[in-house]
């Protein structure tokens, strides 16, 4: 894009006028950056007490619509195994599947922070996590998400030292559904709740940029958010987290299977269709009306 601009300018400019191309290039980069959400944007929002909205995205039009509606974070989630591929869990998703969807989302993204999930068993060692995270980053991801607790510290340290921002997904970790015995609320037992906070601090210390917490009592979501300097994104973790995330198909009421208590269909009754639903979701997250008590665990 910048190269094309430089060539066009050169053809149109009379011989006696000189153009400083470095100025043209600098301006172009600045304009792009002004629209771009980065990890620094999220940190500043946390410090200012401003909520941010996140949403899963899997393809061009959805990414374009969500990003255009003001969603700050787009996640190419391994939920794609269920909502795109029709499996009953996220376990069959491969790094190639994820890379394909990152490429599609990248083309539609208007400046949201693009996060991608490292699939099941693609980060069983620190070196494996680096190898697979590099694949997703080359395709356009700007952060990778890994599921787990303190055991992720080594991978988190290695990735962040090598310039790859990490989001650690804690609480209900769907890749461990077989070990957890189902999709259940986590951290209700006070000891388990304390352990989640302690392990999140270990990951923050190891260099994690964001924590995503799923399906825990609202009080735990709030304590975790207060305990950490890095932004916390919640799904089914109550209104006290810095950001909220939903799965695209849940927000539009498209998933034919059973949905969790924390899901809200923003398309139902919306007179402005999908774009209206996306705008309403962003507004509800920012003004604190979503999640309300009916979407929250105690
Ligand atoms: O894969 C996914 O969509 C996720 C969300 C549940 C946050 O991890």
**Confidence class for position 149, pLDDT limits 50, 70, 90:** very high
pLDDT at position 13 is: 42
- Whether the Cβ atoms of residue 216 and residue 171 lie closer than 8 Å to each other: yes
Residue 104 has pLDDT above 90, yes or no: yes
- The Cα–Cα gap between 99 and 97 comes to 6
pLDDT computed for residue 129 by the predictor: 98
* Any atom of ligand 1 within 6 Å of the Cβ of 245: yes
The pLDDT score that the predictor gives to residue 24 is 41
The domains found in the chain, sorted by start residue, are 35-295 (3.20.20.60)
Ligand 1 proximity of 147 Cβ (cutoff 6 Å): no
Quote the pTM value: 0.89
Residue 137 pLDDT: 98
- pLDDT of 15 reads 47
Token pair 């990735």: residue: 159
Residue 25 confidence class, pLDDT cut points 50, 70, 90: very low
- What pLDDT sits at residue 23? 40
pLDDT over 50 at 19, yes or no: no
Rg over alpha carbons for the chain, rounded to the nearest Å, is: 20
- The answer to whether 74 and 53 are in contact (CB under 8 A) is no
Any catalytic annotation for residue 214? yes
pLDDT value for 250: 98
Q: Is 29's pLDDT higher than 90?
A: no
User: Rounded mean pLDDT of 160-189?
Assistant: 97
Position 186 scores a pLDDT of 98
Q: Is the pLDDT of residue 265 over 80?
A: yes
Nearest CA to ligand 1 atom 4: 77
Ligand 1 atom at minimum distance from 212 CA: 7
**What's the CA gap between 147 and 145, in Å, rounded?**
7
pLDDT of residue 121: 98
Ligand 1, atom 2: nearest CA belongs to which residue? 77
Residues 223-248: b if buried by 16+ CB within 10 A, e if exposed: bbbeebebbbbbbbbbbbbbbbbbbb
Section 25-51 average pLDDT: 74
Q: Which long-range contacts (CB under 8 A, 24 or more apart) does 261-267 make?
A: 261/236, 261/294, 261/295, 261/296, 261/297, 262/215, 262/235, 262/236, 262/291, 262/295, 262/296, 262/297, 263/295, 264/290, 264/291, 264/295
**Cβ of 247 below 6 Å from ligand 1:** yes
Mean pLDDT, residues 55-71: 98
pLDDT at 100 exceeding the cut of 60? yes
Closest-lying ligand 1 atom to the alpha carbon of residue 145: 8
What are the pLDDT digits (tens) for 206-243? Answer: 999 999 999 999 999 999 999 999 999 999 999 999 99
């Amino acid at each position: 894009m910048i190269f094309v601009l430089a060539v066009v300018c050169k053809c149109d400019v009379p011989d006696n006028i000189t153009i400083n191309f470095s100025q043209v290039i600098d301006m172009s980069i600045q304009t792009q950056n002004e629209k771009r959400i980065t990890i620094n944007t999220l940190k500043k929002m946390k410090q200012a007490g401003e909520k941010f909205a996140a949403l899963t995205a899997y393809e061009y039009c959805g990414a374009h619509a969500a990003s255009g509606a003001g969603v700050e974070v787009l996640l190419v989630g391994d939920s794609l195994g269920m909502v795109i591929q029709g499996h009953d869990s996220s376990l069959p998703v491969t790094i190639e599947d994820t890379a394909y969807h990152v490429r599609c989302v990248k083309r539609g993204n208007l400046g949201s922070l693009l996060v991608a999930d490292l699939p099941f068993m693609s980060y069983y060692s620190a070196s494996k996590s680096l190898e697979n995270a590099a694949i997703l980053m080359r395709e356009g991801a700007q952060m990778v998400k890994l599921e787990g607790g303190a055991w992720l510290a080594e991978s988190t340290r290695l990735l962040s030292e090598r310039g790859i921002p990490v989001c650690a997904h804690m609480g209900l970790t769907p890749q461990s559904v077989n070990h957890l015995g189902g999709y259940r609320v986590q951290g209700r037992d006070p000891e388990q709740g304390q352990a989640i906070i302690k392990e999140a601090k270990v990951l923050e210390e190891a260099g994690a940029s964001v924590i995503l917490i799923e399906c825990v009592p609202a009080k735990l979501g709030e304590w975790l958010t207060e305990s950490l300097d890095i932004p916390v994104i919640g799904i089914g973790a109550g209104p006290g987290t810095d950001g909220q995330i939903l799965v695209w198909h849940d927000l539009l009421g498209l998933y034919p299977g059973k949905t969790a208590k924390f899901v809200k269909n923003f398309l139902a009754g919306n007179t402005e269709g999908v774009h209206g639903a996306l705008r309403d979701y962003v507004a509800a997250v920012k003004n604190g009306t979503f999640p309300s008590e009916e979407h929250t665990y105690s």
